Amino acid sequence: MKIHVYAKLKDYFSPEFELDAVAHNTDELKLRLLEINGEAGQILDSCRFAIEEGFIDHDHKLKENDTVIIIPPSSGG
Amino acid sequence: MKIHVYAKLKDYFSPEFELDAVAHNTDELKLRLLEINGEAGQILDSCRFAIEEGFIDHDHKLKENDTVIIIPPSSGG
Amino acid sequence: MIRSSSSPLPAEVSNVLPESIRVVTGDPLDIVSLLRQAHHPGAGAVVLFSGEVRDSNKGREVAYLEYESHVPLAEKMVHDILDEAREKWGLKAAIAQHRIGKLAIGQSAVVVITAAAHRREAYEANQHIIHRIKHEVPIWKCEYFSDGTHQWGNNCNC
Amino acid sequence: MIRSSSSPLPAEVSNVLPESIRVVTGDPLDIVSLLRQAHHPGAGAVVLFSGEVRDSNKGREVAYLEYESHVPLAEKMVHDILDEAREKWGLKAAIAQHRIGKLAIGQSAVVVITAAAHRREAYEANQHIIHRIKHEVPIWKCEYFSDGTHQWGNNCNC
């Protein structure tokens, strides 16, 4: 599974990386990411998750070859 | 006394004219103007009056050599 | 700043309406030039309103408009309105210009530009200024319709 | 129309966001060109918002900003926001463009233009669109301060 992170999340993770661990949904994905960096809990709780087709919620079933985009709160404008 | 009128008032009076009759204030001026055109009562009631220095109200004492500007409701923009 | 090439104006310059801006003018409004004069390094929000001539009003086809004004009083009143708005909303810039004479469909009759640190003030002040210009300042619109008739306006164009 | 020389666009052209307008772009925003595309003979009111880089934020001197975005999702969301606003307020035109990359003080980070028959709708829709772009669309600001530190933004620039 490919992971893309943006903005402040880049203080915790590489901008793009391959996650070897298995995550069937975003809740499991969050746990896998906390195993990489335990300090990311608060910011991850404020993030939305998306795949190429758009936003997904916590019961969306992730596939092994998905690219998951992790989106911190917007600060455009 | 010189009178300048604008916009819809020009359907009732010449744009600029010399008023020979005496008018000591705007109430008297309205009566003099109605003697020129009796159909202007409604529009004159909606107008503001000004001299060069700015708007005047009904107790402002007009002088014989004043130029009075009669200002119908604004419709700019 | 609308183009990266133009340098920001110092506060004391853009904080007042430059003498070069005529509040009432017979020339086409130069929105680009007005916008350039509204920029300020402390302004995070710039709001521009342009009131433009519509092709119809209440179902009647408009051919063109003509505006007239008592210019000295109009200029003084607009300056006062801008000064009050600058103070009330802490604006970094406030500019207004109204065109008089004959205007074709689509042309801009009035432009109001406000610049403030934050956007709420810029929007609010902008709406306040255009409202007062339309309702208080001695400027009048005459609509010329395609059927050859005309009508002095009481109602707003926009 | 901002200049009397440019002819109004037909309704069916200006009613949709022209393909040529990139919602997210690394180039300086060309406000003049965007304004030209917002004109419509049925629009009596055009409102433009420009969000610009301020020289300070909460008392700290800003050197420059950098914006990043997940562009495909951002473009889709902005198009949806504009479509909804067009329908809700009956807009004649709705345009938005957000810049990414490095921006200097005074440069425009985001532009929103709305055109409607009457001004209330143009102002309301404009404020709604910029609010949603700032709060929903995956675009992020990083402030680089003159003291060499930087901070990813949570707070609005304007």
Contact criterion met (CB < 8 Å) for C43 and D52: yes
* D14 has a pLDDT exceeding 90: no
For C:32-51, CB contacts with D below 8 A are 32, 35, 39-51
CA separation for the pair C77, D67 (Å, rounded): 42
Alpha helix positions (H), C20-151: 31-37, 71-89, 119-136
In the 3-class helix/strand/coil scheme, how is chain A assigned residue by residue?
CEEEECHHHHHCCCCEEECCCCCCCHHHHHHHHHHHCHHHHHHHHCCEEEECCEEECCCCCCCCCCEEEEECCCCCC
Under the banding of pLDDT at 50, 70 and 90, the label for residue B53 is confident
In chain C, whose CA is at the least distance from the CA of D156?
Answer: C118
Spatial CB neighbours of C33, under 8 Å, sequence gap ≥ 6: none
CA torsion D54→D58→D62→D68, rounded to 10°?
A: -80
Give me the pLDDT at residue B77, please: 87
pTM listed for this prediction: 0.89
Backbone dihedral angles phi then psi of residue B65, each to the nearest 5 degrees: -100, 15
For D:119-138, CB contacts with C below 8 A are 119, 122-123, 126-127, 130
Q: What CA–CA distances, in Å, run from B26 to B44, B50, B62?
A: 10, 10, 8
* D15 has a pLDDT exceeding 50: no
In chain C, what residues touch B4 (CB-CB under 8 Å)? 70
Give me the pLDDT at residue D9, please: 38
Give me the pLDDT at residue D154, please: 65
- Give the closest-approach CA distance of B17 to chain C in angstroms: 16
CA separation for the pair C45, D157 (Å, rounded): 9
- Give the closest-approach CA distance of A22 to chain D in angstroms: 24
Give me the pLDDT at residue C153, please: 84
In chain D, what residues touch A71 (CB-CB under 8 Å)? 70, 73, 138
> Which helix (DSSP H) or strand (DSSP E) does residue D32 occupy?
helix D31-37
The stretch C59-64 carries a mean pLDDT of 93
For B:1-40, CB contacts with C below 8 A are 4, 6-8, 11
Chains D and C touch (3+ CB pairs under 8 A): yes
> Which helix (DSSP H) or strand (DSSP E) does residue D40 occupy?
none
The stretch A15-29 carries a mean pLDDT of 96
ipTM value for the complex: 0.89
CA separation for the pair B75, C51 (Å, rounded): 12
Of the candidates C68, C130, C135, the beta carbon closest to that of B6 is on C68
Give me the pLDDT at residue D19, please: 54
Other C-beta atoms closer than 10 Å to the C-beta of D19 total 6
Give me the pLDDT at residue C157, please: 44
- Give the closest-approach CA distance of D107 to chain C in angstroms: 5
Please report, rounded to a whole number, the percentage of residues in chain A having pLDDT higher than 70: 100
In chain B, what residues touch C139 (CB-CB under 8 Å)? 74-77
Please report, rounded to a whole number, the percentage of residues in chain C having pLDDT higher than 70: 84
Question: Both ends of chain C: CA-CA distance in Å?
Answer: 27
CA torsion B55→B60→B64→B67, rounded to 10°?
A: 0
Give the mean pLDDT of chain A: 95
Give the mean pLDDT of chain C: 87
In chain D, what residues touch A6 (CB-CB under 8 Å)? 68-70, 138, 140
Within 13 Å, how many C-alpha atoms sit on residue B10's CB side? 11
Give the mean pLDDT of chain B: 96
Residue D35 structure tokens: 């304004």
C-alpha torsion sign, points D101, D106, D107, D108: positive
The stretch A13-21 carries a mean pLDDT of 96
Give me the pLDDT at residue C8, please: 41
Q: Is residue B66 classed as helix, strand or coil in its secondary structure?
A: coil
Interchain CB contacts (distance < 8 Å): A and D: 67
In chain C, what residues touch B8 (CB-CB under 8 Å)? 140, 152
> Which helix (DSSP H) or strand (DSSP E) does residue D129 occupy?
helix D119-136
Minimum mean pLDDT range among C48-52, C128-132, D57-61, D96-100: D57-61
The stretch C59-74 carries a mean pLDDT of 95
